[in-house]
Structure 1
Amino acid sequence: MLAANRWFVLCVAISAQIASICALFGVPFVIPELRAAYGLTVAQAGTLAGMPSLGLLLTLLAWGVAIDRYGERVTMTLSLLLTAGVLALLAAVDSPVGVGVLLALVGAASGPVNAASGRLVLGWFAAHERGLAMGIRQAAQPLGMALAAALLPLLAERYGFVTAMLLPAGLSLATAPLAALFATGARQARAPRADPGGEGATGSPYLRSTIWRVHGTSMLLGVPQSALMTYALVYLVDEHGWRAATAGVFISLVQLPGALVRLGAGAWSDRIGNRLGPVRIIAAATGAALLLLAGAAWTSSAAGVVLLALCLLLSMSHNGLTFTAVAETAGLAWAGRAMAVQNSLQSVAATLTPLIAGALIQTWGYAVAFAGTALFCGLAIAVVPPGHPAGGITSARR
């Protein structure tokens, strides 16, 4: 029964994460409608797409403290309800500035779901299966992206941007009761154990360099991921003449194997007993694929479509590994804050990347933007800390 419960808790975490991802990262899939409705340039629309990440950045550390203090159930439920409420307010504004403010508030409200759901996994799963469990939980990101990419462009094309964003609002509202009832973390579990492992057991993990290097790796790899997710649809529309709805379906289909790749990466790290060795390989493959995509964009080759799919697939495959690594490094007592810090640093990348990449696209084209993001993969390879065996936290429930 206990073994079955932990998988059910994981399903609740996945559901909450999918709703949150749709709210946080759904705007790039309706950029054509934003541009048409407000007369925006690519860079301006990309800036609006980055506003949820700005709101996320400004509030994540506070949410991390709240998660460690009040637990996953309270913070996840409150977050989902607030997210639904703010998205509903989009109908009351009629200017790009108003939309931007509300999108930033969406990011602020959505903040704790990723860290809190990750903390659930840490408490319920032992080290030998934690990579797989976190990979399954992290698969919620491509699944949420797939849902947003498949439905939001179609809804926006038919009914407008505001109506389309009611989809993530509805998902958040529907998921909140599940979080309230079942998102019980290890601290509330019967007969919990103290955390005997991880650096967090002997003091702050931030007194050591390892956790900062894991954070840096995650932040650097977030740059190509953010650039691709923001401008993939626009690239297909502008450079290949696709309809936005068709491009959305294409991106949605790419996300599905992306979810499987995250599961495979997690299982791989469990098998070899190392979280970050696979991250180096993923970073190298992503950088190489981005350079090929840049070449295809420069020559206007039809191969750009296939290479775009490959880049999307590779760029999303590291998240579960880096989140598991940072949580295990921090220890359960620090896990909420550590994952919030990691989310914050990723949000810096997700906030600035659409703005900078949009300016590069507008000035020099997609080829330069794609090549520029490949550089961050090379930097990530240099920053990844050596070693990092799996484990460090003992599950509170078996």
Structure 2
Amino acid sequence: MAVLSRSRHRWVVLAVGVGAQGAFAAMFSGIPVTGIAMRAGYRLTTGELGLVLACLGLGVAVSDLVWGLLTDRFGDRRVLLTGLTSTGLLLAVMAATVTPADGAGVVPLAGCMAVAGALGGSVNGASGRAIMTWFQEGERGFAMSIRQTAIPVGGAVGVGLLPWLAHTYDFRAVYAAPAAFCLAAAAATWRWLHDPADRPRATEHPVTGHPVSEGPEGGGRSPLRRWDVWRLALAGSLLTVPQFAVLSFTAIFLHDVKGEGATLASVTVLIAQLGGGAARIWTGRRTDRAGSASGTRRAYLRAIGALAGIAMAAAAVLTGAPTPITVTALALGGLLANSWHGIAYTEIAAMAGPARAGTALGLLGTALFAMGFLTPLLIPVVIAHASWTAVWALTAAAALLAIPLAPAPVRAR
């Protein structure tokens, strides 16, 4: 009966993780697509807009590893409740006091974005560790990919909703909507997320007090001291460059270069987000069913890097092509750049083991969002000194550089 209860409840836990990840993604992905309205409403330059958008990624980058360590120490439930509730409350404060109607400028706006990213980043490691706890090897790739698909799906909700709210209402509504999402996810976490009764035990290190896995997966060694874990995190950060470039600057590119409005940009990003989400589930299921899951996940990661690099290189070559052709290349490149997260998160958590999964997932999140911070800062500089062709070419180069950096597939003996 206990086994049956665990078997059923693991899907409830997964649903809670999906809700938490999706709530944060609606804010994180939706706000950048309001870039045109934000630039006009707050009277920002393109460089200032890049700084504001970059601060979202900076907040996650500086906090994700800390959240991962806290998750391994205090558990996923406490961390998720703290992060989601505080993020929702901050967004509610922003809706009340940090809008163009309130006379807010670049400094308070950028500061609030950084804090929102820092608080919301709690969902990355905590919800992932819960999945590692409740699901077994052979099904974790599928489960983790579903959780990671909440990012493009939640992002798609944000991309479709927040620009419309900005245009129809104002930025009070833009911030209030994701605030409601985060608070609803916190309520679901409080109601349904808990540890399984038969959870594998973890002992504490006699000096540091950190949990040490007793099973073979973790090996008792901190993920932060393993070069193969760092390689995977750094490869993921490079694959993040085309993802953030398409997400954050497609609207600006299409407006400034092609004379298009926010609708086409939203459609392009939605295709990248939803298509990438479907690809995450497919790759997660595929690698679970394949033999030597670790080696298969690494092989898929390298293959996606190659395909994303080719697609973004095509976008660079086709920058001056008719708009439908350019948009197709960007949508495909964005789709591929959104498709690898599930297998990467599964692989790095499996490398660390369940007791250390929060730390490993936090490291990956830190690497990804650090690049998410740097990418919006770099792109305006490239535009000012070169061109949009150079922007898309650099994203292609980043994806291709991730291929040799990613850990090589492990061959079954």
Do the structures match in fold with TM over 0.5? yes
TM-superposed CA distance for 1:264, in Å, is 0.6
Q: Is the 8 A contact 1:42 1:362 kept in 2?
A: no
Q: Which ranges of structure 2 fall in alignment gaps of 5 or more residues?
A: 99-103, 202-212
CA RMSD of aligned residues (A): 1.8
Q: Deviations over 1:77-125 (max 9, x none)?
A: 1111111111122231311111111111101111210111111111111
2:197 to 190, 196, 202: 190
2:41 corresponds to? 37
- Superposition map of 1:385-396 within 5 A: 385-388=407-410
TM-superposed CA distance for 1:267, in Å, is 1.4
- Superposition map of 1:1-398 within 5 A: 1-90=5-94, 91-93=96-98, 94-184=104-194, 188-194=195-201, 195=213, 197=215, 199-272=217-290, 273=293, 274-299=296-321, 302-388=324-410
TM-superposed CA distance for 1:253, in Å, is 4.0
Counterpart-to-counterpart distance in 2, 1:278 and 1:197: 27
1:396 corresponds to? none
The amino acid that maps onto 1:258 is: G
1:151–1:389: structure 2 CA closer, same or farther, 3 Å change rule?
Answer: farther
Counterpart-to-counterpart distance in 2, 1:26 and 1:167: 11
TM-superposed CA distance for 1:160, in Å, is 2.1
Q: Is the 8 A contact 2:217 2:354 kept in 1?
A: no
- For these two proteins, the number of residue pairs brought into alignment is 387
Counterpart-to-counterpart distance in 2, 1:301 and 1:248: 14
Counterpart-to-counterpart distance in 1, 2:216 and 2:351: 5
TM-superposed CA distance for 1:161, in Å, is 2.6
Q: Give SS of 2:297's match.
A: coil
Q: Is the 8 A contact 2:312 2:396 kept in 1?
A: yes
Q: Is the 8 A contact 1:30 1:161 kept in 2?
A: no
Q: Give SS of 2:198's match.
A: coil
TM-superposed CA distance for 1:213, in Å, is 1.0
Q: Is the 8 A contact 2:133 2:199 kept in 1?
A: no
Q: Give SS of 1:127's match.
A: coil
1:293–1:246: structure 2 CA closer, same or farther, 3 Å change rule?
Answer: closer
TM-superposed CA distance for 1:250, in Å, is 4.1
TM-superposed CA distance for 1:389, in Å, is 7.2
TM-score, normalisation: structure 1 = 0.93
Q: Give SS of 1:302's match.
A: helix
The amino acid that maps onto 1:189 is: P
Q: Is the 8 A contact 1:116 1:336 kept in 2?
A: yes
The amino acid that maps onto 1:70 is: F
TM-score, normalisation: structure 2 = 0.89
1:388–1:322: structure 2 CA closer, same or farther, 3 Å change rule?
Answer: farther
Q: Deviations over 1:155-185 (max 9, x none)?
A: 111222332121111100111110112122x
Q: Is the 8 A contact 2:272 2:336 kept in 1?
A: no
1:393 corresponds to? none
Q: Is the 8 A contact 1:135 1:262 kept in 2?
A: yes
Identity of aligned residues (%): 34
The amino acid that maps onto 1:92 is: T
Counterpart-to-counterpart distance in 2, 1:291 and 1:246: 21
Tell me which moved more, 278-287 or 63-72: 63-72
2:208 corresponds to? none
Counterpart-to-counterpart distance in 2, 1:329 and 1:240: 45
TM-superposed CA distance for 1:238, in Å, is 2.5
The amino acid that maps onto 2:97 is: A
Q: Deviations over 1:31-85 (max 9, x none)?
A: 1011112332223212211111111122222212211111111111111111111
Counterpart-to-counterpart distance in 1, 2:6 and 2:130: 14
Q: Deviations over 1:1-34 (max 9, x none)?
A: 3212111110110011000112233221111011
1:202–1:320: structure 2 CA closer, same or farther, 3 Å change rule?
Answer: same
TM-superposed CA distance for 1:299, in Å, is 4.2
Counterpart-to-counterpart distance in 1, 2:385 and 2:48: 13
TM-superposed CA distance for 1:242, in Å, is 2.4
Q: Give SS of 1:242's match.
A: coil
